[in-house]
Every structure is written in structure tokens, then in C-alpha cells.
Structure 1
Amino acid sequence: MTTTEQPPQPENLPKAEFAFPGPLRDQLVAAVLGGSKTSTTGLVIDYEHEGEPLPEVGSRSVVVDSGERPVGIIEITGVRVVPLAEVDLAHALDEGEGYADVAAWRAGHERFWHSEGMRAALEDPGFTVDDTTPAVLERFRLVADLRGGAGRP
């Protein structure tokens, strides 16, 4: 950053919310801020339900913790839409959640996607995913750590 360039302003950015507020979000946000989480997975149906466009490379968003406090800013570096069956090991590992293989990644994500919270958010009590479900695979980088004024390049 040059001396004339202004730091990113979180109030001007959309929110990046990992999971729902609570222990899982806290774990995911810690992984983002710690640098071990550089990818995430969403579902096309979730974007459609919320009326939101799919993420775009170069866009930035503010990561919020379970208390909705801004704690970091991320920038999207890659976006792919693939059927769930085509999620690769590199993506699963880069999610930073400790998965050793794609099967473990899939099982963990299916628990979340089939949870009461996700089904309620989608307003579909019977929602399920399968191999053909379109997934949004995002890659990102942390561009600012907003905790206590600490910054990252």
C-alpha cells in the first residue's frame, strides 16, 4: 500500500458470513484470520434464494464474527461453479477445517447443509444435496486483519 492509498473501509463492503453465528463460525473465522482457510463453498440455490449474485473475482467483503463485528477483509481470487461430485482435494484442504480427503469434507458439509438452520434459511424443511447439486467454490485471500488495528498486506 502506498502512503496515498486509503485502507479498505469495512462499512463500505458487503459482509462475508461463514456459517451461522456460533462455534462453527468462530472456528471458520479464526481459520481465515490465521491463514489456513483460503477457500469456501456455497450452494447456487442459497445465492438464488437470497437474490444475491454469485461472487466475482476481485470483489472484497468484510468478514464478521459471531457478534457481527468486522474482523477482516477478504478478496475473491477465484470462483468456480461445479457439481458437488467434482469438488477436488485441493479445494477441500484449502477450506482449513482439517479435512484429510474429499469424503470427509463432503460429510462435514452435508451435515451443515442438511441442518435445521440451513433448511430454515432456505425455507425448505426437506432440502438435501446430491452429486449434481451446483456448488460455488470460492478462493480468497485475507487483505486486512481488523482486530485491534493489526493489518496484513
Structure 2
Amino acid sequence: MGNHEPLDETLGALPEGPAGTPLKPFLLAFPGPLRDQLVEAVLTGAKVSTTGLLAEYEAEDEELPPVGERSALIDSDGREVAVLEVTEVRVLRLGDVGLQHAIDEGEGHSSVAEWRAAHERFWHGDEMREALGDPGFTVDDDTMVVAERFRVVERLAPAA
């Protein structure tokens, strides 16, 4: 599920990027069981892609990540658990997301329909609608999404 939910969590010092600047946080879903599941899937290598709504970027006035950008994967406790590198970014219609992308999200979906149903439940949830500032937000085939691929560059040691 998308990684561009509002950053309303308190984060510690993030690992450093170029020129000693902190890495941007890479957030999957909202803190809780779903985020925990997705972070674990990234750390085991099952999850190498994610899908967010273009509307999330627009609502946060955020630019799409460039290929090569590194960020810190954040768990539900606000800890940095890995450094990720973006390897591909595509903007496409939700109706054009293919099976390989759905499988690569590492959530166990065996069809695009399964993948889409799970994402629609998330995107139509109260937390997402609140984050977008639109209580009636819904998606359809023409909704624009951001499909990202990434790789784990470094696993970070848990804080003592």
C-alpha cells in the first residue's frame, strides 16, 4: 500500500543521505498491523514494489521520488529499520496495474482483482480519506497511481 501517508509520527534521527542530510522516511500504510506486515515483507524480500495514489502526492505538495533516491523504511514504532533505494517510478491508471506489480507487492495476492480489492479497502478507509481531506474519496479505473519499485540497500540494527 502507498508509502506517502502524512508524517504525523515522531521519528528519531534518520540515517544520513548525501552530504549528511537525513533520509526521507519511507512509510507503508499507517502505523499498526498492516504497516508491520508490509515492513516485514520488505525485510524478507517478498515486497519490492508499492502503489500510492497520485492524489496523496498532490495533497502533500510532494514531488515523486526520483530513481536512485534513498529513504529510511519506518516501522510502526517509528524506528528506521532499513535503507531503501527507488529503482523505478511509474504513474499510470489504476486500471492498468498488472499482475507482476501486484505480486511484487508481497502481500500474497495471486490476481490483480485480489490486489485491487485490498487496495480499495485501504484507500476508501477513514484514515486515507482524512489524509486526503476528502471524506467521500473513491477510486476507479482512471484513478492515477504511483507504482514504485525499490530495493533494500541496508538493514539497520534495531535500537538498543
Question: Normalising to structure 1: TM-score of the pair?
Answer: 0.90
Q: 2:63 aligns with which of 53, 76, 82?
A: 53
Work out the CA distance in 1 between the residues paired with 2:146 and 2:89.
Answer: 7
Match of 2:37 among 2, 7, 27: 27
Following TM superposition, the consecutive aligned residue runs of length 4 or more in structure 1 with deviations greater than 2 angstroms are 8-11
Aligned residue type for 1:118: M
Which ranges in structure 2 are unaligned for 5 or more consecutive residues?
A: 1-14
TM-superposed deviation, 1:36: 0.4
Question: Counterparts of 2:138 and 2:70 in 1: how far apart (Å)?
Answer: 30
Q: Which residue of 1 aligns with 2:102?
A: 92
Between structure 1 and structure 2, the one with the greater Rg is 1
SS at 1:147 equivalent: coil
Identity %: 58
- Which structure 1 segments of 5+ residues have no match? 1-7
* Structure 1: distance between partners of 2:121 and 2:107: 14
Deviations 1:26-51 (A, max 9, x none): 00000001100000000110000011
Distance 1:49 1:85 in 2: 22
SS, match of residue 85 in structure 1:
helix
Q: State the alpha-carbon separation in 2 of the partners of residues 92 and 32 from structure 1.
A: 14
* Aligned residue in 2 for 1:114: 124
2:92 to 76, 82, 85: 82
The residue aligned with 1:104 is 114
Q: Which residue of 2 aligns with 1:12?
A: 22
RMSD: 1.3
Residue type of the alignment partner of 2:27: E
Alpha-carbon shift at residue 55 of structure 1 (Å): 1.5
TM-superposed CA distance for 1:148, in Å, is 4.0
TM-score by length of 2: 0.86
Equivalent position of 2:146 in the other structure: 136
